[in-house]
Amino acid sequence: MNPATVNRSYYPALNGLRGVAIILVLCRHHLHFIPHFEFGWVGVDLFFVLSGFLITDILLKTKENKNFLSNFYIRRILKIFPLYYGVLLLFFLLAPFLQALQVQYNYYHSHQAMSWFHLQNWLYIFHQKPNDFLLLNHFWSLSVEEQFYIVWPFVILSVKNCKLLAHIACVILAICIIGRFASWLYYGNGYTNFYFQYMTRLDGLCIGSLIAIWRFSSYEQARKKLFVLVSTLLGAHFVVLVLAKTIFTGLPHFQFFGYSSIAAISGVIVYFAVEKRNAWSKALIENSVLTYIGKISYGLYVYHWPVLVLFKIYAMDILLSYGYTRYASNVVLSLAGLVAAIMLSIASYHLFEKKILALKDVITEAGFFTRAKKKLLLLLKPAASSGG
């Protein structure tokens, strides 16, 4: 392990892993007709591990800095909010006038506060969806991350001891697994119940955070601790799997430990991508194609699903009328939607996102808030004097 990597603030391989993660998600949604591509949903868990690692790594290295919290949240807001709220606003402005979107518009409009405040994962749990082809359906995972961003920085700021911080992350991870078991006992095998709950998908964020904490506190021990954690999770999953296949038939082993196991494997990938850079890893993960896809990955995440849904809503009947089978129509529209989403994401990144992201350093640079405060006081001073 290279100690120099502990102090690094930028990890070239992680852009490539973002590219891998979004490609997996695109395979799940746009190329699901290819055998085994339906398992591309694991890309979401890889995203969660990446987010947990990067956010915790940044927070630990900057928490002693002035304007620690404000700088962090400004950067998150500039990264996440413009595209998210742009799509949300377009939906609520245009959907009322489109007959084909009336059902889902009524659904989101009835509970729109949950969309505006990043609670869509809970929306789908508490209020049954009219169908699975909702334009904003994919934003549940962004809601999980946003909820994490709201709470975790304050935990890191409050807990000075890294060992205690790691224990907290481990406890949260254990609560997730226990919570899934309790949820199964109470609700049964509900897809929505297990798939969208915060406790269901928090595993990746916890494991990513643990890797960052261990590397920050003692890089010599980080690999060993990660090995123990991964072995424990995979071992527990194997035991429950054996029990489910023998004594307790019907026991949903995957709901209990599946997400944890996938997050653990993703954690190993992230760890070695950060620590073990060599010619092979650079060629496989840090190549220009994956790195570029990683750069536009957020736009791809935001746009790919609405584009696919709109293509299927408005073009499916047209293809069927020309004699295409439903399967062939799905293939054509999925591929066309994929191309359109990529083109839209490229344009969005270069024409809009890069310009917004460029503001991060300007706004969070040292002295910005002090200067802004002084200017505000100068503006208010004459008004206060005249009022007096």
- pLDDT grade for 299, boundaries at 50, 70 and 90: very high
| Residue 166 φ/ψ, nearest 5 degrees | -65, -40
Q: Which of 59-73, 168-182, 244-258, 330-344 has the highest mean pLDDT?
A: 330-344
Hey, how many other C-beta atoms are within 10 angstroms of the C-beta on 68? 15
- pLDDT grade for 385, boundaries at 50, 70 and 90: very low
Please report the pLDDT score of residue 267 as a whole number: 96
Please report the pLDDT score of residue 199 as a whole number: 55
pLDDT tens by residue, 141-155:
999 999 999 999 999
Place of tokens 């007959």: 99
- pLDDT grade for 248, boundaries at 50, 70 and 90: confident
Separation of CA 233 from chain center? 22
pTM for the predicted model, two decimal places: 0.89
Please report the pLDDT score of residue 258 as a whole number: 87
Residue 383 confidence (pLDDT) above 80 = no
Cα–Cα nearest to 210, from 174, 246, 257: 174
Of the listed ranges 52-61, 317-326, 358-367, the least confidently predicted one is 358-367
The one-letter amino acid code at 341 reads: A
pLDDT tens by residue, 4-30:
455 556 788 999 999 999 999 999 999
Q: Rounded CA gap, 144 and 138, in Å? A: 11
Of the listed ranges 30-44, 74-88, 113-127, 365-379, the least confidently predicted one is 365-379
H or E element at residue 348: helix 326-348
Please report the pLDDT score of residue 84 as a whole number: 97
pLDDT tens by residue, 95-139:
999 999 999 999 999 999 999 999 998 888 888 888 888 999 999
Domain boundaries, given as residue ranges, for the chain: 12-357
What is the SS3 assignment for 65? coil
- pLDDT grade for 3, boundaries at 50, 70 and 90: very low
Higher-confidence residue of 365 and 21: namely: 21
Hey, how many other C-beta atoms are within 10 angstroms of the C-beta on 1? 15
What does the pLDDT average to over 293-313? 96
The burial of 380, by beta-carbon neighbours within 10 Å (0-12 exposed, 13-18 middle, 19 or more buried), is given as exposed
Residue 193 confidence (pLDDT) above 60 = no
Of the listed ranges 88-92, 206-210, 284-288, the least confidently predicted one is 284-288
Please report the pLDDT score of residue 67 as a whole number: 79
Q: Rounded CA gap, 315 and 338, in Å? A: 14
Q: Rounded CA gap, 208 and 186, in Å? A: 29
What does the pLDDT average to over 30-38? 91
